[in-house]
Structure 1
Amino acid sequence: MGFQQGLSGLNASSKNLDVIGHNIANSGTVGFKASRTEFAEMVASAIGSANGTNGGIGVMVDDIAQQFTQGSISVTGNNLDVAINGNGFFQIQQSDGSLAYTRAGNFKLDKNGNVITNNYGQLMGYAVNPTTGQAATGVLQPMVFPPGTPIPAKQTTAIKAAFNLDARAPDAAGNPAAVPPIPMTPRSTYGTSINVYDSQGVPTKVNLYFQKTATANTWDVYTQLDDPAAVPPVVATPIGQITFDNNGKITGPAAAPPATGFQLPVTIAPPTPNPNNLPAYTVQVNLDGVTQFGTKFAVSDLTQDGYTAGQLTGINIGADGTILTRYSNGVTRPEGAVALATFRNTQGLSDIGNNLWVETFESGQPSLGQPTNGTFGALRSGALEDSNVDLTAELVNMMTAQRAYQANAQTIKTQDQVMSTLVNLR
């Protein structure tokens, strides 16, 4: 009798309904990948029956295959939410030290500064050189940003200046005998200022004044104004000169070897008062962007490389995985780079729950790298990848599975009626 076929159909349809229900239940789960039930027929076989006359004995569940298609990306506005647009998985170090992989990028920052999942797994990535911004690929490590540890102050070593000195400016000393008389140009006419920082992060204001000399294309540089009312009176002396050629391009002062370009050293006096007895220090003013054209004096760039101490205030993750940290002192710098993993056979990954997969022999070992490199996808900060479950399709599949279950139950009922007829033969 054909009870076996009907029973196998009931079991297969029931398993299919389990999978469909699991998909529907996780339609709102971040990074979830839907599964489908794949069936295979069962056929009785015997020696010498190669002509295919043996009847089928039902159906079996051949595989429950996850579908690693891209889910839609929803903007959340939370900078620690990260979506993968394309190929790849985040690598997670679980609490027992083992590695797992996920597409769910709803990360958090714990009290110790660890970037973690909801199950306390740590996000893995590469260390980054804060100076060059380049990731030290090859060795993965947990991403940690201690929020209670300030970055130390950095003493200013260089000022980058870009400005134009008016080529029409006369000798600053003036010429009263000229007709008409040429008045003296106050030193403050061409001036700018910037704060620099000592080794303890204490700011000092640096003034730079430029005064045209009687020599063509030559300007004296001062760091202060004259103060005849001071006791004793202050008469400033220039700290150097800037020279130009007839095309308005800078020709001096040349940087001291091994440096190249045009630099002017400025000695920064210690603060007053100076309770910690800090020494004076020297800052190199880079003048490569300075010109002398017949337009008004204008400063287009004036920056320096020092800062005071700062606390962590925010994190942002770029498309290439670079993690940029923001500090209360205004500094933004790279602190790490998120790594992505790809597999030769994603269908071979083993689902262990909590939006995590682990590698298996069938999946092969992961290939690791930075987002946007090669076949790795790009990251999008402030967004999450939604579940790839199609609710409409799942509801249709559920109705189909229900009908299949009813039909298999009907075959068992029919077989029962046939058997009852045989038993009741007289």
Structure 2
Amino acid sequence: MPFRTALSGLNAASADLRVTGNNIANASTTGFKQSRAEFADVFAASSSGISSTAIGTGVRLSGVTQQFGQGNIDFTGNNLDLALNGQGFFVLTDGGSQVFSRAGAFQVDRDGFVVNPSGQRLQAYPPANAEGTSFSTGVLNDLQLDASEAPPRATTEVDATFNLSSNAADVSALPFDPSDPETFNYTTSLTTYDSLGQSHTATLYFRNTGPLSWESHLAVDGAAVGGAEPLTFNADGTVATPAGAVSFGTHDPGNGADLLDMEFDFTTATQFGAVSNVSALRQDGFTTGRLSSIEISDTGVIQARFTNGQSTALGQVALANFPNPQGLQQFGNNAWGASFGAGEVVLGSAGSGNFGAIQSGGLEGSNVDLAAQLVGLITAQRNFQANAQVISTADTVTQTIINLR
């Protein structure tokens, strides 16, 4: 009957309108993937499965499939906003179960966990070593930002690069007195740290004791440490002795911290005709630090930056992929769930295998082509009108038959 055929057409056009309308409604939804209504024709068949007529009996909705094309990336400036450029999904936990999403609008909850607006926690691989250069890819953890202070580290090594003037006067006849500038030729200082993170001023004094011969002294917070350490140079101005690091001895900071025991590397020092000067002083200690910012690389490595200039790797963002993403189960709230049709989940990290890169400070927009959807909206409307006209025509024909005398 043409009525049933046209009715199936009305239902198909209505479904097409709903799919198109949903796409248009989500044109600005972060991480949204547009859907496509797919239809199949219907033929009546006998019990043997062979079509009993060459005339079809309408149309049916065979499926609604999502199109996982790349959306545009909009930059936000928020480091916790993450966009995926390429394949893959963010891995999230929702009450202990895994869900997957392309929407990377993350924030920190009251407990320091990185979550999306639905409260689902972002998953990451924990660091496998203290340096944060490798990660345990067999373990997934909830990513948590630690707001506690970073512990201090006492200064143990100092690298000093300086020049002592070959024109300096010999002051070996005068006993060394740090308060008398006449008893030394050059001095420089730097800030060092004890095991409690308290800063101390370390001052180096250099005295010319003859041709190519010097001696160095150390004071910490004005208190002398150890005795004189000799420093000699070759005829070309390079260091002859010491060949390695120099230790002046230990110093008690007087605040309950461990004794300061610093080694000084003078092997890059020179004695040239230029005025005495220092070009570099580097020490390996630092004070306590508070979390100041989070940086996420294009491979998903999360670095916590502290106010003391140090950084710590907190983990690496985990990504997931599927052989057939169109088979994923839709949960809403920009989330999908694993399903038999999607295939086994494949876990990895950004920039490896077939996984895309992560863009920190950006969000992936919807991949809806609004112009194409509006054209599709007009097409669906015309289809609906045409099928309605079939019903009207069939009604006229039927009425004519009824009116036969």
TM-score normalised by structure 1 residue count: 0.83
Offset from partner CA, 1:11-62 (integer Å, 9 cap, x none): 1111111111111111111111111111111122236786995321111112
Q: What does residue 367 of structure 1 align with?
A: 346
**Shift of the alpha carbon at 1:392?**
1.0
The answer to whether residue 199 in structure 2 is matched with residue 220 in structure 1 is no
Mapped to 1, the partners of 2:343 and 2:236 lie a distance apart of 64
Structure 1: distance between partners of 2:84 and 2:206: 53
User: Secondary structure of the residue that 2:158 maps to in structure 1?
Assistant: strand
Please name the residue that 2:312 is paired with.
333
Query: How far apart, CA to CA, are the structure 1 residues paired with 2:374 and 2:268?
Result: 66
Residue 237 of structure 1: aligned partner? 227
- The answer (yes or no) to whether the contact 1:267–1:280 under 8 Å persists in 2 is no
TM-aligned CA deviation for residue 309 of structure 1: 2.2
How far apart are 1:376 and its partner, in Å? 1.8
Residue of structure 2 equivalent to 1:270: 252
Whole-angstrom CA distance in 2 between matches of 1:16 and 1:187: 93
User: CA 1:325–1:49 in structure 2 vs 1: closer, same or farther (change >3 Å)?
Assistant: closer
Matches of 1:195 and 1:171 in 2, distance apart? 28
1:131 aligns to what SS in structure 2?
coil
Alpha-carbon separation, structure 2, partners of 1:2 and 1:360? 39
Q: Which residue of 1 aligns with 2:325?
A: 346
| 8 Å Cα contact 1:187-1:209 kept in structure 2 | no
Aligned partners of 1:270 and 1:280 also within 8 Å: yes
Instruction: Verify the 8 A CA contact 2:188 2:203 in the aligned structure 1.
Output: yes
Q: C-alpha separation between the residues in 1 aligned to 2:290 and 2:356?
A: 32
Question: In the TM superposition, what is the alpha-carbon distance from 1:114 to its structure 2 partner?
Answer: 0.5
Q: Tell me the equivalent position of 1:180.
A: none
Partner of 2:176: none
Paired residue type of 2:194:
D
Residue 205 (1) aligns with residue 201 (2): yes
Mapped pair 1:90 → 2:90 = yes
Match of 2:286 in 1: 307
1:138-287 equivalence runs, <5 A? 138-147=138-147, 149-161=148-160, 163-166=161-164, 168-170=166-168, 172-173=170-171, 190-214=186-210, 216=212, 219-224=214-219, 237-238=227-228, 240-242=229-231, 250=239, 252-254=241-243, 262-272=244-254, 274=255, 276=256, 278-287=257-266
Distance in structure 1 (CA, Å) of the matches to 2:266 and 2:57: 87
Q: Give secondary structure in 2 for the equivalent of 1:319.
A: coil
d(CA) in 1 for partners of 2:356 and 2:267? 40
State the partner residue of 1:181: none
CA distance in 2, matches of 1:236, 1:410: 104
Q: 1:279 to 1:174 in 2, by over 3 A?
A: closer
Match of 1:105 in 2: 104
**Would the alpha carbon gap of residues 311 and 48 (structure 1) be closer, same or farther in structure 2, given more than 3 Å must change?**
closer
Q: What is the CA–CA distance in structure 2 between the aligned matches of 1:297 and 1:363, rounded to whole Å?
A: 71
| Residues 97, 171 of structure 1: alpha-carbon distance in 2 compared, 3 angstrom cutoff | same
Q: Which residue of 2 aligns with 1:419?
A: 398
Alpha-carbon contact 1:210-1:221 (below 8 Å) kept: yes
Q: Give the secondary-structure state (helix, strand or coil) at the position aligned to 1:159.
A: strand
Cα distance change, pair 420–111 in 1 and its aligned pair in 2 (3 A): same
Amino acid at match of 2:227: T
What is the SS of the residue equivalent to 1:56? coil
Per-residue deviation, 1:142: 0.7
* Distance across 2 between alignment mates of 1:58 and 1:248: 97
**Residue by residue, what CA displacement relative to the aligned partner does 1:76-119 show, whole Å, maximum 9, x if unpaired?**
1111111112221110011x100011111110011211101111
CA pair 236-350 structure 1, distance change in 2 beyond 3 A: closer
For the pair 1:403 / 2:382, whether they are aligned, the reply is yes
Equivalent-residue separation in structure 2 for 1:201 and 1:235 (angstroms): 20
Separation of aligned partners in 2, 1:288 and 1:57: 92
Match of 1:182 in 2: none
Aligned identity (percent) is 40
Q: 1:17-166 maps to which residues of 2 (within 5 A)?
A: 17-46=17-46, 54-94=54-94, 96-128=95-127, 129-147=129-147, 149-161=148-160, 163-166=161-164
Separation (CA, whole Å) in 2 of partners of 1:221 and 1:424 = 123
Asked if 1:8 is matched to 2:3, the reply is: no
Q: Cα deviation per residue 1:255-286 (whole Å; 9 max; x = unaligned)? A: xxxxxxx32335452234x3x3x342312334
In 1, the alpha carbon distance for the partners of 2:58 and 2:50 equals 19
- Is this contact kept in 1: 2:189–2:204, CA < 8 A? yes
- Alignment check: 8 A CA contact 1:169 1:212 kept: no
RMSD: 3.0
C-alpha displacement of 1:65:
1.1
Change (3 A) 1:220 1:412: farther
Question: CA contact under 8 A between 2:172 and 2:207: conserved in structure 1?
Answer: no
Deviates more, 1:299-308 or 1:73-82: 299-308
1:332 is aligned with what amino acid?
S
Which amino acid letter does the alignment assign opposite residue 92 of structure 1? L
Unaligned runs of 5+ in 1: 176-184, 255-261
Structure 1 residue 413: Cα displacement = 1.4
Question: CA shift at 1:412, angstroms?
Answer: 1.4
- Mapped to 1, the partners of 2:403 and 2:338 lie a distance apart of 59
Contact 1:321 1:379 in 2 (8 A): yes
| Structure 2: unaligned runs, 5 residues or longer | 174-180
Report the 3-state secondary structure (helix = DSSP H, G, I; strand = E; otherwise coil) of the residue aligned with 2:294: strand
Cα distance change, pair 425–307 in 1 and its aligned pair in 2 (3 A)? same
Aligned to 1:258: none
Question: Which among 306, 321, 324 is matched to residue 303 of structure 2?
Answer: 324
Per-residue CA shift, 1:150-171, capped at 9, x if unaligned? Answer: 222222233344x242574556
Mapped to 2, the partners of 1:295 and 1:135 lie a distance apart of 50
| Distance in structure 1 (CA, Å) of the matches to 2:225 and 2:372 | 86
